[in-house]
Structure 1
Amino acid sequence: MEFEVSELVEAKRQIDSTIHKLRETVKTFESKENASRYNSQITLAKRRMEAFQISIFLIEREINNLEEKN
């Protein structure tokens, strides 16, 4: 698939926003009195953050490649 730089920049912005929300979710769960009850949600959120970090890396690489071509 071919994407324009503007589409990739917007996708990155949306992913950054989602990562921020996931970080806040993890903080909230970890700060709860009985945080161990939320271990599965915390693990899921952390795994999603890692996956989104990979996505951001790949998006940034693609943006750089497209900008070098122009």
Structure 2
Amino acid sequence: MVYSEEELLEAKRQIDSTLHKLAETIKTLEGKENPARYKSQITLAKRRIQAFTLAVDLIQRELEQRTT
């Protein structure tokens, strides 16, 4: 599927926003009194960060290829 530059930029913006929220969630959960209780949520958030970071990298690569 071919995406427009605007679609890619909007997707990147949305993913960046989600990444920020996930990072804040991890900080909050790790800062709780008993962070071990939230281990599964922390692990899930970290895995999502990895996946979204990969997605942002791929979007960025696609955008850079279009400008060259």
* Band of TM-score, shorter chain: over 0.9
Instruction: Give the Cα–Cα distance (whole angstroms) in 2 for the partners of residues 35 and 3 of structure 1.
Output: 41
Instruction: Give the Cα–Cα distance (whole angstroms) in 2 for the partners of residues 33 and 51 of structure 1.
Output: 28
Deviations 1:29-51, CA, capped at 9 Å, x for gaps: 00000110000000000000000
Q: Map 1:1-70 onto structure 2 (within 5 A).
A: 1-68=1-68
Identify unmatched segments of 5+ residues in structure 2.
none
Deviations 1:2-30, CA, capped at 9 Å, x for gaps: 01111101100000000000000000000
Identify unmatched segments of 5+ residues in structure 1.
none
Q: Secondary structure at the match of 1:2?
A: coil
Instruction: Give the Cα–Cα distance (whole angstroms) in 2 for the partners of residues 24 and 51 of structure 1.
Output: 17
Q: What's the TM-score once normalised by structure 1's chain length?
A: 0.94
Q: What's the TM-score once normalised by structure 2's chain length?
A: 0.97
Percent of paired sites with the same residue = 59
Instruction: Give the Cα–Cα distance (whole angstroms) in 1 for the partners of residues 61 and 24 of structure 2.
Output: 27
